Amino acid sequence: MSLQTVRSPFLLNDYTALSVHQEQTPNSFYDGKPVLHYHATGAKAWIPKSQRGKLPFFPADLSSEPTPPENSALNGQTEESVEQKVDIFVNSQYAPPPHPPSPHPSTNHAPPPRNLSIFCPSAESGVSIPYQQISIHAVKTLQDSNQTAHPAVYLQLELAEGGAGDDDFDTLELTLIPQPRDTTTTPATPDASTTTTTPPKAETTLLFEAISECSNLNPDPVQDGDDEDSDEDGGAQILFEGDYEAVEGFSGVFAGARDGGLPPAMPGSGGWITAENVHEYFDEEGNWIGGEEGVSGELGEGAGVVHGREEDEEGAAGDGAEAAVEGEAKRTRREGVALPVTGSSRLIAACTRDMLPSSGNVLPYDNAVRLAFRWNAKRLKAALFSRSSERWVYAHPEHPVDLGQDLVVIVKTGYGTRERVPAWLDALSDANEFRDILVIADSEGHIDFKDKYHDKGLHVHDAVGHSLRLHLRRYEDHPRVAKYKQLTEAIFNNNEALAQNHCRAFGWELDAMKFISGLEMTYQKYPHKRWYLLVDDDTFIIQPSLKPLLEHLNPEQPHYLGNAVGDFKARFAHGGSAVILSHAAMRMLIENQRALASIYVDSLDETWGDRLLAKALLKLGIHLDEAYSHLFNGEPPLLSKIRADRLCSPLISFHKLPTPAAMREVGEYFRNVSKPVMWNDLWEIYGKTPPWRQTDGAFHHNWDYVGEPDESTLAISRVKTAEACEKQLNRRSRSSLAWSWDPQTETCYISHWMILGRAAPGHVSAVNAPRARSLETTCIQY
């Protein structure tokens, strides 16, 4: 992302305090509040006078000189500086899922950028600086003639990545001097305590540490086509020494034996579970199968210790390190590459006998250490092995499914969005097989609807009321219960305006209470269904793509399917993209009343019901099966991000169709579809020719194939022409699929996906046609 000018001040309530974020499972998808690591007001910002005009709050004619007491440290310097008073917001990429807009249009504004944000009240402007553009940050001590030290934070910013030429780099030096904070006011970090047993850190230290932490959370994007060698992992690492051949391009992945076997065990691995013996102790799902003896052998000295990069380099010549070749400088042998450690627990201890008791009792399924082990094992497997073939799409079904008899659809809506449900039903294709449909909401109701399966309409079930009547009677005083009663009262009194206001204000809180209760109500009514499909009222399902997936899987095995989001501690299926549970999974979930009771209590405080469902299943040992995650989609058709790993895969769902008109429009496009839809079929369904097959030139004017950028989008500033933007993509042709050039801002956007496209006045865009054509040759033909 490129540096962005801001014209309105940042607000504290636009951010999530770090302490609040740390109490929740971190997630990163779609919109939401960034996490605030540091905030200061009235800080001093200096730049060299010769660099005025490069930042919006340092205009070219600014003449304000640095003020006391720090300015005395500048005496004798040849380079003059200028000063502005600024507010600083240091925030990271972590963000919760989207929330409804404010009912007051005047308060709606774009969410704040997730980076280093600086605003100058006097200049009425500010800047958002992506951490990738901070090439240097350090603590700088300004010392005056009296030897008084004035600490500051020094930043060197890259204002351009080179544009059309590699030598056109533009940098700027920015010095930030946060002022001493009144101890009676809010702490510098939103989570800091005002009562501590240790002296508080200096403001400069807090600012520097916050920038360092957020920079680590936002590393430079790695592009396969880049020529530069990069030292990829900047955090804590497990380092292996020895002559082991690493797989090119994969950190921590070692080449196997020539006979197809696994890599050799690491030196001193007698007390560890290694790549050589892991199959003796765990199955593919991370379940313990190692018998009663546990892991044999004693751990060596230092087991469980995580060394930082600098510490490893300093100790390379110490105990256990080989002597360097004569005549060469001593260095750590890094052919083995470092294996990153996931999670705050730093996973080393996950493989020790202490973590896996010799009695045979294993850690709970939802234990962070066990989840981290499983996460890393899955990542390693994904790096070593390509995705299995999806020929099952057109193969003879292993477990034949009749969608009308074997599946029930749970449509989740709310009082504020109930008008979407008739449109959802109208959008069903002419060949619709959905017969059993149960609608759940936060109030009772009825929907007039007729088709070949329904002639009396559909009843809307109050899933929140179900929770309160049967499971939460002792929690009448809980704030969320009080909000439900407010909505119920407004509906009963026919106060539509008040009811709608309640829905906008806390509808999302009540939504979290519908998931478990809605599934329980469904299982009670349809206990013998083989499959259960949970969708939102703005989710569209492509039935011809859904059916072969279900016929490929055994419903008597506990399957939990959907679009994976969240970190290793709470991977869950995004509810808007659709969630699928097999009969076995539903039976285990609903019939375990003891576990269910605690989950109902958790629903009173859980923010996201889809995450709550994943937690409930995880306690039973049912993990989200991410092998099919790429089949589910959380975007509308025209904005769906088509990546290389899914171009030839089936597509099951669309999301974010918020109006009845939008839902019915998609239904019309897919009304006559009778065979599984692949992602690359979208162009044909929407009456377009895929851009890589077109012969009228690669450039498309007033169009955009990149769509909404995210943290992985590469944004290159000061690119003068569309041709120069295309050259930037060509440098990264092995990893990128589309580019889009904005002539107004001279910004080139490069993404590793492509969308069907959208009108974008003035823009020029194209896809990576050679790569798209190559990928298409691997598609399975119907």
Residue of 632, 631, 666, 652 lying closest to 424 (CA atoms) = 666
Report the range of poorest mean pLDDT among 50-54, 226-230, 738-742.
226-230
The strand pair at 458-462 and 436-441 is best described as parallel
Residue range(s) in the chain whose domain bears CATH number 3.90.550: 407-654
**pLDDT recorded at residue 30:** 44
Is the pLDDT reported for residue 657 higher than 60?
yes
Which class is 407-654 in CATH? alpha beta
Mean pLDDT of the chain: 77
CATH number of 692-778: 3.50.4.10
Report the range of poorest mean pLDDT among 170-174, 405-409, 547-551.
170-174
Mean pLDDT along residues 730-756: 93
Mean pLDDT along residues 501-516: 94
Q: Which fold has domain 4-94+112-160+169-180+203-215?
A: PH-domain like (2.30.29)
pLDDT per position as a tens digit, 556-567? 999 999 999 887
Mean pLDDT along residues 514-522: 96
> Measured between alpha carbons, how far is residue 649 from residues 723, 761, 762 in Å?
32, 32, 33
CB 511 within 8 A of CB 414: yes
Mean pLDDT along residues 499-509: 93
Is the pLDDT reported for residue 629 higher than 50?
yes
Three-state DSSP class for residue 494? coil
Half-sphere exposure of 117 (CA within 13 A, CB side): 26
**pLDDT recorded at residue 709:** 87
Three-state DSSP class for residue 3? coil
Report the range of poorest mean pLDDT among 626-630, 659-663, 776-780.
776-780
pLDDT range class, residue 772, cuts 50, 70, 90: very high
pLDDT per position as a tens digit, 10-20? 888 888 887 77
What distance lies between CA 447 and its chain's CA centroid? 36
**pLDDT recorded at residue 317:** 39
pLDDT range class, residue 736, cuts 50, 70, 90: very high
CB 133 within 8 A of CB 159: yes
State the Cα–Cα distance between residues 413 and 439, nearest whole angstrom: 7
Report the range of poorest mean pLDDT among 190-204, 243-257, 301-315, 359-373.
301-315
Mean pLDDT along residues 140-145: 75
State the Cα–Cα distance between residues 10 and 6, nearest whole angstrom: 9
Give rounded-to-5 percent helix, strand, coil for the chain: 30, 20, 50
State the Cα–Cα distance between residues 630 and 370, nearest whole angstrom: 25
CB 654 within 8 A of CB 669: no
- Adjacent-strand bridge partners of 411: 439, 535
Residue 31: CB atoms within 10 Å: 12
Residue range(s) in the chain whose domain bears CATH number 2.30.29.30: 4-94+112-160+169-180+203-215
Contacts of 70 (CB under 8 A, 6+ apart): 44, 142, 144, 150, 152, 177
pLDDT range class, residue 71, cuts 50, 70, 90: confident
**pLDDT recorded at residue 637:** 96
**pLDDT recorded at residue 237:** 44
Mean pLDDT along residues 519-541: 96
pLDDT per position as a tens digit, 711-720? 788 999 999 9
Instruction: Supply angle C-alpha 541, 590, 571, rounded to 5.
Output: 60
Residue carrying the six token digits 């019901």 = 609
Residue range(s) in the chain whose domain bears CATH number 3.50.4.10: 692-778
Mean pLDDT along residues 502-529: 94
Q: Which residues of 237-269 are buried (b: 16+ CB within 10 A; e: fewer)?
A: bbbbbeebebeeeeebbbeeeeeeeebbebeeb
DSSP code at position 343: T
pLDDT per position as a tens digit, 20-60? 776 665 544 445 678 889 999 999 999 998 888 889 899 88
